[in-house]
Amino acid sequence: MNVGVELEDIRVSLDQLMLDPNNYRLAYKGIEPVTSDDQVESLQNELEKKLSKEQLNDLMESILVNGFLDVDRIVVRKLKGSENKYVVIEGNRRTAALKVFIEITLMVYIVLSDSLLDKMSSLSVVLIDAISSEKIDEQFKTLMGIRHVSGPKQWTGVQRAKLVDDLFKLGKPANEVGKLLGISGIEANRRRNGYLAYLQMASDSKYGEYIQPKHYALLLEFVSNKYAREWFGWKDGKQFASKSKRRILYRHIVKLNDATSAEINNPTEARSFCKTIVNESVSSQIEKGVLLSDITNEQAEERIRATTSIDNSSNLNITKITEFIRFLNRLDSVDLADEEAEELTKVVTAIKDLLEEL
């Protein structure tokens, strides 16, 4: 347990529990603003409707069949400005399911078991209390990380990345964030960088309106690739510095106009694009505004060869040799001048000598 944090078992009625508008599960795009406690009560009906989309019917059916089990305890904190109401930190879906049961019984004749009714009138929950709201927030985010990033109830990629970023904002170093989430410090940094790139795209005046959660996974590939970081100008581990180049990136991952799909739709295609920009002849055309799909077959072949010419000088030599072979294939031997034919003869001799040394 964190120093200055207390966990207490208390009993409350269902009416005392407030659904959390800042629930990470409801951060569908990962960019939703934080809601203050003075707005919480007024948002309860809206939150109930949102949570109804989170497979609430299956959960309600399970509760009817098996009862409300205390194996997964509901975790709460005190609602600021209220003496007897609590915000649900963990267990918002279960709380919403119980609240829906109450509404249904008022509209339709449904008989709930006595044991379930007893549970609703006196729920056993865990209260997180601390010497400061910052400590409560830290404990809350730690709990969310354990259960929903590395644990059994994982969120979507961008929701998990938002939590990673929030943990960094608490001042925790990467290795500590990683330990909390069951990942390495390097992976924690990588996910945060992906989320920062995602936030940057969301704030773009031209492409921000098209942001979707799937774009996080694509941007994650670009900030994870050394060559892509260099080409797009990833600066200080926070943002893409080059506006023109990052908009080239956005143009490739967003479906625009009458296109049937975006140029880049999945991480595999994103990794392929990262390899493509290593080839200067291709990247120069992309920089001029040519889409990847519009690159000629010849350039596409060069792009494929670039995937094997990234890491060392020997692969670079392979690329040069391949390009030389392409040059030979384009020559018309009938039209060769005598001097050109003589030079090619020298090349043939040099190649033969090289092969004999292998």
What is the pLDDT, as a whole number, of residue 3? 44
Nearest to 100 by CA among 89, 115, 110, 85: 110
* DSSP type of residue 79: P
30 Cβ contact list (under 8 Å, min separation 6): 158, 159, 161, 162, 195, 198, 213, 216
* Region 75-94 average pLDDT: 89
Right CATH for 5-149 from 1.10.3720.10, 3.40.50.10070, 3.30.1950.10, 3.90.1530.10: 3.90.1530.10
* Region 209-221 average pLDDT: 93
Task: Flag whether pLDDT at 343 surpasses 90.
Answer: no
User: Both tokens of residue 350?
Assistant: 């040099």
CA–CA dist 185, 175 (Å, integer):
4
What is the pLDDT, as a whole number, of residue 92? 87
What is the pLDDT, as a whole number, of residue 334? 46
Query: Distance of alpha carbon 150 from its chain centroid, rounded?
Result: 14
Write the DSSP string, 303-356.
Answer: HHHHTTSSS-HHHHHHHHHHHHHHHHHH--GGG--HHHHHHHHHHHHHHHHHHH
Where is pLDDT greater, at 9 or 64?
9
Lowest mean pLDDT among 79-93, 269-283, 286-300, 316-330: 316-330
pLDDT, the chain, mean: 78
* Region 217-226 average pLDDT: 94
Alpha helical stretches, state H, 52-110: 56-66, 92-107
CA–CA dist 208, 34 (Å, integer):
19
What is the pLDDT, as a whole number, of residue 251? 92
Q: In the structure, what pLDDT confidence band is assigned to residue 287 with cuts at 50, 70 and 90?
A: confident
User: Both tokens of residue 110?
Assistant: 């449904």
What is the pLDDT, as a whole number, of residue 176? 87
Q: In the structure, what pLDDT confidence band is assigned to residue 147 with cuts at 50, 70 and 90?
A: low
Convert the pLDDT of each residue in 19-45 to its tens digit.
998 887 777 777 777 889 999 999 998
Where is pLDDT greater, at 159 or 343?
159
Cβ(222)–Cβ(249) below 8 Å: yes
Q: Which of 156-160, 215-219, 323-327 has the highest mean pLDDT?
A: 215-219
Task: Flag whether pLDDT at 205 surpasses 90.
Answer: yes
Place of tokens 């000088």: 313
Convert the pLDDT of each residue in 301-322 to its tens digit.
555 555 555 455 555 666 677 6
CA–CA dist 160, 270 (Å, integer):
21
Task: Flag whether pLDDT at 1 surpasses 90.
Answer: no
Q: Using CA atoms in the order 81, 82, 88, 93, what is the torsion angle rounded to 10 degrees?
A: -110
